[in-house]
C-alpha cells in the first residue's frame, strides 16, 4: 500500500523539523554492536543478536521510519512501486539519494539475498503474505525480520490486521527500532515531538456532534477500498477532529459496499492519492457516481486529498493530522 508528499503540500516544514530530513544519526550509546536486544513485535518477543547493518525495507512508510531515525547508513536498499511517488521529493530527498532502490515491484527472498540483507522490515500485505513471502521463509535463509505494527494480525481473527490504535503502532515501532539500532534517544525525541503535534491539533478540534464525519476513499469503483479502525487513517481522522464512518469495522485496510457509504452519509471524503488513477480522476468518479449524489460530502464537494505516505503508518502521520485538522475545522465552522 502507496505516494509521497508533493512540495506544495502543507506541513512539509513541520515534517522536516520533526524528522530531521533523514539526517544520519550515530548510536545513542556506546554498547558493542554485538549486543543482543529483545523487543515485543506483533505480540511476540523477538531477539536480535546484533544490530542490523544491511536492512531491506518494503514500502514508503516503512522506509521513511528508518530515515526518520537517521538509519539510512544501515540500509542495503528499499523496495517500492513507482506509483508510490517520486523519491527526489521532500522531505527525504537526501536519504533516498543515498539508498539503493532495489525493486519497483515487491520484496522477495531473492532480492533480500542479493542485497546480502541481515534484516527485512516489512509487514503483512506490506511485503509479506502467505502466498509469496513470509518471515519464516527469510528466517530459514538466515535473515531476520521486523513486522510493521500497523499490519500485525489480530490474534482473535488470525486474518484481520491491527492490534492497537494506529498512532500507538507508530510510536511502538519507533521505540522498538530505537532499541534494535541503539538510537533510543532519537526515537524518544521523535515520539515526544509527534505526540505534541497531535495534542495541539486535538485541542483545537470541534466537540461532539460538530465533528465532521469522514469517509476514506482509497480506490475501487465496484467496491471502495477503505480504512477500518486499525489502519492509520482512523486515528488521523479522529485526532484531526473528525469521525471515521467505519470506526466500527475491526480491520485495517479492507473493502466495503457503496450502500454502507451512502447510508452513513459522510460530511467529508478523504482521497488517498497514489497509483495509476490520479486524485483528480478519483474525485471526478466520486462526483459523478450516481449512488453518491445525495451524500453530503458529494453534494457540497467536500473532498480532501492526502498522499499515501500520509495515510499508512509513517513519520508523516502527525503532519497529516495537522493538515486535515485545519480542513475539518473549516468544514465545522461552515456548518
| Lowest mean per-residue pLDDT among 151-155, 239-243, 296-300 | 151-155
**12-196 belongs to which homologous superfamily?**
Nitrogenase molybdenum iron protein domain (3.40.50.1980)
Q: What's residue 70's pLDDT?
A: 97
Q: What's residue 7's pLDDT?
A: 32
Size of the chain, expressed as the number of residues it contains: 335
| Lowest mean per-residue pLDDT among 77-86, 110-119, 184-193, 301-310 | 77-86
Which residues neighbour 119 within 8 Å (Cβ) at sequence distance 6 or greater?
Answer: 48, 52, 54, 55, 56, 143, 144, 145, 146
Question: Same CATH fold, 207-334 and 12-196?
Answer: yes
Q: What's residue 17's pLDDT?
A: 44
- Residue 155: closest CA among 40, 252, 42: 42
> So where are the chain's domains?
12-196, 207-334
Whether residue 220 is predicted with pLDDT greater than 60 in this model: the reply is yes
What is the tens place of the pLDDT at every residue in 91-119? 788 999 999 999 999 999 999 999 999 99
Q: What's residue 161's pLDDT?
A: 78
Mean pLDDT rounded to a whole number for the chain: 88
Name the CATH topology of 207-334: Rossmann fold (3.40.50)
Q: What percent of the chain has pLDDT over 70?
A: 86
Residues 10-24: what's their mean pLDDT? 44
Q: What's residue 8's pLDDT?
A: 34
Whether residue 144 is predicted with pLDDT greater than 50 in this model: the reply is yes
Asked whether the CA dihedral 237, 241, 243, 247 is positive or negative, the reply is positive
Please report which confidence band the pLDDT of residue 34 belongs to, taking 50, 70 and 90 as the band edges.
low
Characterize 301-325 residue by residue with b for buried, 16 or more Cβ atoms within 10 angstroms of its Cβ, and e for exposed.
ebbbbbbbbbbbbbbbbbbbbbbbb
Whether residue 233 is predicted with pLDDT greater than 60 in this model: the reply is yes
Query: CA-to-CA distance for 185 and 192, rounded, in angstroms?
Result: 11
Cell of 188: 524518544
Give the helix/strand (H/E) hosting 226.
strand 225-227
Residues 35-39: what's their mean pLDDT? 93
Whether residue 18 is predicted with pLDDT greater than 90 in this model: the reply is no
Which residues neighbour 86 within 8 Å (Cβ) at sequence distance 6 or greater?
Answer: 4
CB 299 within 8 A of CB 212: no
Amino acid at each position: 500500500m502507496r505516494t509521497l508528499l508533493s512540495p506544495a503540500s502543507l506541513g512539509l516544514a513541520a515534517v522536516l523539523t520533526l524528522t530531521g530530513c533523514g539526517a544520519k544519526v550515530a548510536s545513542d550509546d556506546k554498547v558493542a554492536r554485538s549486543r543482543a536486544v529483545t523487543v515485543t513485535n506483533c505480540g511476540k518477543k523477538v531477539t536480535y543478536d546484533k544490530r542490523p547493518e544491511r536492512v531491506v525495507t518494503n514500502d514508503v512508510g516503512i522506509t521513511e521510519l528508518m530515515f526518520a531515525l537517521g538509519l539510512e547508513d544501515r540500509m542495503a536498499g528499499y523496495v517500492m512501486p513507482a506509483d508510490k511517488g517520486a523519491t527526489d521529493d521532500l522531505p527525504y530527498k537526501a536519504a533516498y539519494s543515498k539508498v539503493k532502490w532495489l525493486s519497483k515491484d515487491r520484496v522477495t527472498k531473492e532480492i533480500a539475498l542479493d542485497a546480502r540483507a541481515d534484516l527485512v522490515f516489512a509487514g503483512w500485505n506490506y511485503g509479506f503474505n502467505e502466498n509469496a513471502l513470509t518471515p519464516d521463509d527469510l528466517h530459514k535463509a538466515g535473515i531476520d525480520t521486523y513486522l510493521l505494527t500497523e499490519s500485525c494480525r489480530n490474534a482473535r481473527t488470525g486474518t484481520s490486521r491491527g492490534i492497537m490504535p494506529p498512532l500507538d503502532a507508530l510510536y511502538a515501532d519507533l521505540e522498538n527500532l530505537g532499541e534494535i539500532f541503539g538510537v533510543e534517544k532519537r526515537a524518544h525525541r521523535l515520539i515526544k515531538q509527534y505526540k505534541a503535534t497531535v495534542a495541539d491539533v486535538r485541542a483545537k478540534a470541534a466537540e461532539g456532534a460538530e465533528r465532521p464525519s469522514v469517509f476514506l476513499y482509497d480506490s475501487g469503483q465496484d467496491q471502495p477500498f477503505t480504512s477500518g479502525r486499525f489502519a492509520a487513517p482512523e486515528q488521523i481522522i479522529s485526532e484531526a477532529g473528525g469521525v471515521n464512518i467505519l470506526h466500527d469495522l475491526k480491520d485495517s485496510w479492507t473493502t466495503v459496499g457503496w450502500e454502507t457509504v451512502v447510508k452513513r452519509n459522510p460530511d467529508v471524503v478523504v482521497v488517498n492519492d497514489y497509483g495509476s488513477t490520479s486524485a483528480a480522476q478519483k474525485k471526478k468518479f466520486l462526483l459523478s457516481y450516481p449512488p453518491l449524489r445525495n451524500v453530503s460530502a458529494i453534494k457540497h464537494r467536500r473532498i480532501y486529498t492526502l498522499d499515501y505516505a500520509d495515510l499508512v503508518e509513517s513519520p508523516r502521520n502527525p503532519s497529516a493530522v495537522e493538515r486535515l485538522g485545519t480542513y475539518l475545522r473549516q468544514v465545522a465552522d461552515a456548518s
